[in-house]
Amino acid sequence: MGIMRLGYAHVRVTDMTEAKNHYASTMGLYETLTDTSPEGNERVFYKGWDEWDHHSVVLEEGGVGVVKYGWKVEHEADIEDVENKAKAFGLTVERMSKGENPEIGDGIRFITPSEHVFEVYHHATSIGTEVGTHNPEAFPRHLVGVGVPALDHSLITTEDVGTMEKMLQDVFGFYATERVQTSLEDDHECVGTWMTSNNQIHQLAVIGGPQGKLHHFAFRLDEWYSVGRAADLMTMDDVPIDIGPTRHGITRGQTVYFFDPSGNRNEVFSGGYLAFPDRPTNVWTVDQLGKGIFYHDRELNENFTTVLT
């Protein structure tokens, strides 16, 4: 199968105490490990209540923005397959050893055309969901804050969306569920792409902007009510809300965007539709981008396109 899903997002934060309060107390993630990076920075590892691998979010003190992404493959042999495809695409690939990332096995690492660091691996230590797998309850009885179940997706920026889209297609086997183009004609410039390898509406979105930047990373929620409740809790905790609750035209997802204490943008996301490789890609033109991003307001919040970390 190749790339199965987004395994982890590793991001920088300016103040670990504030960050832990946000991600643990407001978002309701479970801390699984605290350690020190090779550079001497404090790191904290988290998972959502419905995730079974050791972690899906890594916070590292010392700045803002994304450090790297981890992508999990279905089979050990898939690592070599992705490595060969990455080399054929012209990327420089290095091997990473078990233990370089706590509780993550051997794999590969490379820098994408967007100047983001991607790691690909198969093994992650499984510590189980908070409800287990033997006659499990629907959710944990004592959720904290929003109580997000899992990491969902991320959006990054690059100066050349088309090249990044092709890399994700050729190397990861991704396909585009939604695109923003300068025209409806297939050969016109792509300025945004929403991509996946499975039935999830998107695992990674890419839009035009500076190299190597993070727009947001998102957590999955079950339904529209949960998105509204999350916004209420953010107000209680004085979390800066960027926009929402609202709906996307692109992906049809329901959303709230907000910022962690360091200024990294987060999202809670629900809804969307099931994706399939043979489903025709939804194409939006630039003049309808406001409606595509914020379906109700039908216009873009200026901060939404300019605030990056």
- Chain position carrying tokens 């934060």: 13
**CATH code where residue 69 lies:** 3.10.180.10
Instruction: Determine, yes or no, domain membership for 18.
Output: yes
Residues 80 and 164 in one domain: no
Residues 180 and 35 in one domain: no
- CA atoms of 68 and 101, how far apart (whole Å): 11
Instruction: Determine, yes or no, domain membership for 71.
Output: yes
Annotated active-site residue 267? The verdict is yes
Residues 156 and 284 in one domain: yes
- CA atoms of 141 and 130, how far apart (whole Å): 10
Total structural domains within the chain: 2
Q: Which amino acid is at 58?
A: V
Q: How far, rounded to the nearest angstrom, does the alpha carbon of residue 145 sit from its chain's CA centroid?
A: 20
Residue whose C-alpha is closest to residue 146's, from 55, 226, 217: 226
What 3-state class would DSSP assign to 161?
A: helix
Burial class (CB in 10 A: 0-12, 13-18, 19+), 70: buried
Residue ending a domain, choose from 100, 121, 142: 121
Model's pTM, two decimal places?
A: 0.95
- CA atoms of 30 and 150, how far apart (whole Å): 11
Residues 116 and 216 in one domain: no
Instruction: Determine, yes or no, domain membership for 10.
Output: yes
Q: State the pLDDT at residue 244.
A: 84
Annotated active-site residue 22? The verdict is no
Residues 37 and 111 in one domain: yes
Task: Give the chain's residues under pLDDT 70.
Answer: 1, 186-188
**Nearest 5 degrees, angle CA 256-CA 7-CA 191?**
55
Annotated active-site residue 10? The verdict is no
Q: State the pLDDT at residue 249.
A: 83
pLDDT in tens, 89-106: 999 999 999 989 999 999
Annotated active-site residue 175? The verdict is no
**219 in Cβ contact with 46 (< 8 Å):** no
Instruction: Determine, yes or no, domain membership for 129.
Output: no
Annotated active-site residue 202? The verdict is yes
Residue whose C-alpha is closest to residue 93's, from 72, 81, 112, 108: 108
Instruction: Determine, yes or no, domain membership for 233.
Output: yes
Residues 98 and 209 in one domain: no
Annotated active-site residue 216? The verdict is yes
Residues 78 and 33 in one domain: yes
Q: State the pLDDT at residue 186.
A: 67
Residue ending a domain, choose from 121, 141, 168: 121
Residue ending a domain, choose from 84, 100, 121: 121
Give the range of the structural domain holding residue 260, as residue numbers without chain letter: 150-306
Active site residue: 55, 116, 202, 215, which one?
A: 202
- Chain position carrying tokens 């939404």: 304
Active site residue: 22, 257, 273, 296, which one?
A: 257
Q: State the pLDDT at residue 48.
A: 98
What 3-state class would DSSP assign to 152?
A: strand
Q: State the pLDDT at residue 286.
A: 83
Residues 60 and 104 in one domain: yes
pLDDT in tens, 163-221: 999 999 999 999 999 999 887 776 668 889 999 999 899 999 999 999 999 999 999 99
Residues 64 and 101 in one domain: yes
Instruction: Determine, yes or no, domain membership for 249.
Output: yes
**54 in Cβ contact with 102 (< 8 Å):** yes
Burial class (CB in 10 A: 0-12, 13-18, 19+), 48: buried
- CA atoms of 155 and 131, how far apart (whole Å): 30
Residues 216 and 81 in one domain: no
Instruction: Determine, yes or no, domain membership for 126.
Output: no
Residues 111 and 160 in one domain: no
150-158 β-sheet, strand order: 241-247, 253-259, 265-271, 213-220, 150-158, 204-208, 190-196, 175-181, 282-285
Q: State the pLDDT at residue 304.
A: 82
Q: State the pLDDT at residue 198.
A: 92
30-36 β-sheet, strand order: 30-36, 42-47, 57-61, 3-13, 65-73, 117-121, 107-111, 93-96
Active site residue: 10, 55, 116, 153, which one?
A: 153
Residues 184 and 297 in one domain: yes
